[in-house]
Each structure stands twice: as structure tokens, then as C-alpha cells.
Structure 1
Amino acid sequence: MSTLSVAPSGGVRGLVRDAGIVAGRELRPLVRSPFSLIFGMIQPLVFLALFGPLLAGSLSGSSRGLGSDVWQWFVPAILVMTTLFGTSTVGANLLGEFLTGAHERMLVTPLSRQSLLVGRALKELVPLAGQAVIIVLVMLPFGFDLYPAGALLGLVLLTLFGIGLGSLSYALAVAVRRTDWMFWVVHQTLLFPLMILSGMLLPLETGPAWMRTAAEFNPLAHMVTAERLLFAGRIGEADVAWGFVAAAATALVGLWVGIRAMHRST
């Protein structure tokens, strides 16, 4: 592991600088071995190739007018799913650093503990952004329509959500560091119900009333709806605003919980 040598700093400028140092350190293995970016594409492309065609005949009843084109409905959901899986598992990397002592060595540097969290969260968004661009480019020849303004806002929305979820993942890793298997128990217990109740893979409009009601309290459901509207070029709809509210709330809660956990980390 490379040694970091920095002078103590404070304030917002110091936090930004320290977070940049941490993010750069975390990105070096990705730059040296970019194949991890390619391997990360396998799951979303498999879903698009095998699951997407099965949806073609089941979206006619989908609301908000997105059911006529399966790719306009499904590709944004796959981007959310990629962000969800990518950022919710980053705490496992921190568990590995606990075992090797790398995290403890970072704690004794002059870097602020907030930057250790923010820098790691920002690092995770770089490969996810690259994967999102590749997925969109791959789907363009298959009839997926790209609306650049909406797509850029969609990436901003994913970034907000990813920072919050990644921070929560790190906080969970700190909380269960002495029983690291609990990380995956909590992760799997929460992840799949949230996915199903988001309408990510199947439309909820035809589901039972209790599922539709539960989805209203699921921030991931608002995220998925907003991404579909943004990638359809429908920027001004109210559901887009609710998606940003859900993403911003996730980011604020995640950073608050994550920073508190990182300060208590020893």
C-alpha cells in the first residue's frame, strides 16, 4: 500500500483536498487493472439480454406512458440496479482493510475522517459512471432513445443516491467489523425486498394494493420512476422532483450516519 503524506487541514477546502487524495488512492488499482470495470458489466448486460425480452409483452399496462418501449422502461432501471449493487457492497472492501490493518494506518494520517468516507464513496462512482455510459451506448443500436439533458440529470441523481448508499454500507461495515458475516446477512435481507418493491424488474401497477402502498415509502421506487422519466426526456414531471428528494435524503442520512461511524472507528 502506498504511503500518504499530507499536512493537516481543516474546513471545506481541506475536506475537498483530503477526499480527493483518498479517492485518488482508491482509484489507482482500477487504473492499473481496468478489467474490473469490464467484469462489472456482465450482470447488467445479462439482465438486458435475457430479462428484457421477457418484459416486452407485460408492459402495456404500465403507467406514465413508458410501457410501449421495453428498453426505455428497462435500461434506466438497470442503471439504478448497477448503482444499487455497486455501492451497497463497498463496505465489504472496508472489512478487508480491517483485516489487513490498512484502515488503521489511514486513521493515523493527518487526513480528516470525513474525507476517508467521502473519498471512498466518490471512488465507487467513477466505475459506475463508466458502466452507465457503456450500457447506454450498447443499447442505442437496439432502439433505446437518448435524451442528453435527461441522461445527464439521471447520472446526477444516481451520484446522489450512490454517495448515500455507499456511506451507509461503510457504516454497516464499521458496526459489524467483529462479526463480518453479519454484513452480508443485513445486506441480503434489505436489498431484495427494496428491489422488488421498487418496480425495478417488474411493474407494480398490476401487483396487489399492499405492494403499491409499500412502494410509496420506498426511496428506491421514487428513484426508479425518476430515472425512467429523465431518460425519456420528461424532465419537468413532479415524479422527477420526488426522485431527487429521495436521493438527497439518502445522501444526507448516509453521510451523517457514515461520518459518525467513521469518527468512532478505531
Structure 2
Amino acid sequence: MNAFRDAGLVFSRAMKISLRNPAWVVIGLLQPILYLALFGPLLQRVASTPGFPPGDAWQVFVPGLLVQLGLFGAAFVGFGLIAEYRSGVIERMRVTPMSRFALLLGRVLRDVVVLVVQALVLVITAVAFGLRAPLDGILIGLLLVGVLGITMASVSYATALVLKSEDAFAPLLNTFMLPVMLLSGIMLPMSLAPGWLYNLSRVNPFSYVVDGARAAFRGDFAAGAFLAGSVVAAVLAVVGVTLGTRVFRRETS
């Protein structure tokens, strides 16, 4: 129980920092909303193309944007930890009896709360554009954003704590995130891709999460895509938290 109490303290501190500067919540939403407004209408013409997934254009596009938000919204949180390391916060952590797992969990929970709020605003905006989806499917989509946030924030913090340099962290993120986004089918469904590209996308675990979110927005909870996406998202979260906790224990002991 001490670990969760400690995590609550870390979460409270991190949340207060975010609330002092809420502009970052808005900034994080700008990119997906621009995609929604400027790219989404184009998919309405593509929806009749052979190979396009079931559901209308918005039921296909919005879940992809939610996954994009979960990926990119949490991938860059490590920059804040590098700043804390440089200012001596991490050094002071070394002498505290606080659980190392709690040091990670409190920060990650703050990031998840911010992501879910951003995702909710994005869905409400998408409804104004024409999205129609079952409520339980939307709620599951928000849940998937939170789970992805756990994965990406944990990995981001672990990577930042190892590298301790923005000059190394930024190019590594860009090198990793670009192929992940392109091969996950966030913007255009991979079912429209040629065979070799579709097969390559199956190596990317996030493509299963995208397919699962799209199945949820159709209300097709018995589909294999939904089950596979849910399992993959859960496994990634466990791996991310495990990795992050190990790095925190090593770097702050």
C-alpha cells in the first residue's frame, strides 16, 4: 500500500505542475484536430474503395487518431524528466525511501489523465464532424488511449533517464515513431496497402491496437481484431511498466 500512497503523492505533484500550464493540453490536441478537419473529409471519398474496412470513414479515421494521440501524446513526456534530472530532482530522489515503482507510476498516471481528457475533446469534436459510434465503443476507445499512454509514457521516461540528453532523445524518438505511425494504419487502413506492405505492418504491434479500436467503434466486440487489439495493448502496457520500473530502480538507487 505504501507504493500506491507514494504514487499518489507523485501524481499530485505532477498534476499540479500540469494545471499551472494547461496550454500543453491544448497544444497536444492541435495536431489530431487538424488531421480531423483537413484529412478526415478526404477519407469519405475513399470509403467506397475496395478493401476499405467496415464502417464509415469517421469510424475508421477517429479511432486511428485516438491511437495516434496515445502514441505521440505520451512519447515526448521524457523531455520533462530530462529537465528534472538536470535541475537535480532525480539526484534528490536517490536519498528518499519512496518506492521506485511509485516514482514512475505517479508520473504515468498524470500523463494518462491528460491523454484521456485530450481524447474526450477529440471525440466530441469528431461527433460535430459526423462521427456516429456506440457509447461503449467510444468508452473503450478512451480506455485504449489510456493503456497506450501507460506504455509510451513508461518507455519514454525509461529512455530519457538512460540517455539524459535531449540531443539524443529527440532523434531517437523521431526515428522510432515515424515508421510506427506509418505501419500502424493510423492515417489510411493497411487493408488498402499492397500485400508486402500489409504483411510488414503485421510486425508492428500498434497496428493491432488500431484495428481493435476500429472494431470497438463499430460495436463489433466479438471480432478477432478487437480481442487481438485489447490483448496486445495490455501486454505492451505490462512490458512498458516493467521496463520503466527497472530503469528507475537502477538510475535512482
Distance 1:226 1:133 in 2: 18
Partner of 1:183: 169
Alignment correspondent of 2:202: 216
The answer on whether the counterparts of 2:185 and 2:207 sit within 8 Å (CA) in structure 1 is yes
- What is aligned with 2:224? 238
Matches within 5 A, 1:38-57: 38-57=26-45
Cα distance, 1:63 vs structure 2: 4.3
3-state DSSP of counterpart to 2:46: coil
Matches within 5 A, 1:45-124: 45-60=33-48, 61-66=50-55, 69-124=56-111
CA distance in 1, matches of 2:167, 2:194: 34
- Once the two structures are TM-superposed, the CA of residue 142 in structure 1 deviates from its matched residue by 2.3
Provide the C-alpha distance between the structure 1 equivalents of 2:140 and 2:95, rounded to a whole number of angstroms.
Answer: 38
Task: Report if aligned partners of 1:160, 1:247 keep a CA contact under 8 Å in 2.
Answer: yes
Equivalence map 1:125-144=2 (5 Å): 125-144=112-131
- What TM-score, normalized by structure 1, do the two folds share? 0.89
What is the CA-CA distance between 1:258 and the residue it aligns to? Answer: 0.8
Q: Distance in 2 between matches of 1:233 and 1:145?
A: 11
Match of 2:18 in 1: 30
Task: Tell me which of 218, 227, 230 is aligned to 2:213.
Answer: 227
Of Structure 1 and Structure 2, the greater helix share is in 2
- 4+ residue runs over 6 A deviation: none
Contact 1:145–1:232 (Cα < 8 Å) also in 2 = no
Distance across 1 between alignment mates of 2:218 and 2:87 = 46
Shift of 1:151: 1.7
Whole-angstrom distance in 1 between the partners of 2:109 and 2:51: 35
Mapped contact 2:115–2:145 kept (Cα < 8 A): no
**Corresponding residue for residue 154 of structure 2:** 167
Alpha-carbon RMSD across the aligned residues, in angstroms, is 1.5
For 2:223, the aligned partner's letter is E
Within the alignment, does 1:260 sit opposite 2:246 as a pair? yes
Superposition deviation, residue 44 in structure 1: 1.1
Any idea what SS the aligned residue of 1:111 has? coil
Output one character per residue of 1:194-225: Cα deviation in whole Å (capped at 9) or x when no partner. 11111111122232222111211211100111
1:108 deviation in Å? 2.4
Aligned residues: 251
CA contact (8 A) 1:59 1:203 kept: no
Alpha-carbon deviation of 1:158? 2.1
| Long gaps (5+) in structure 1 | 1-12
1:32: Cα distance to partner? 2.8
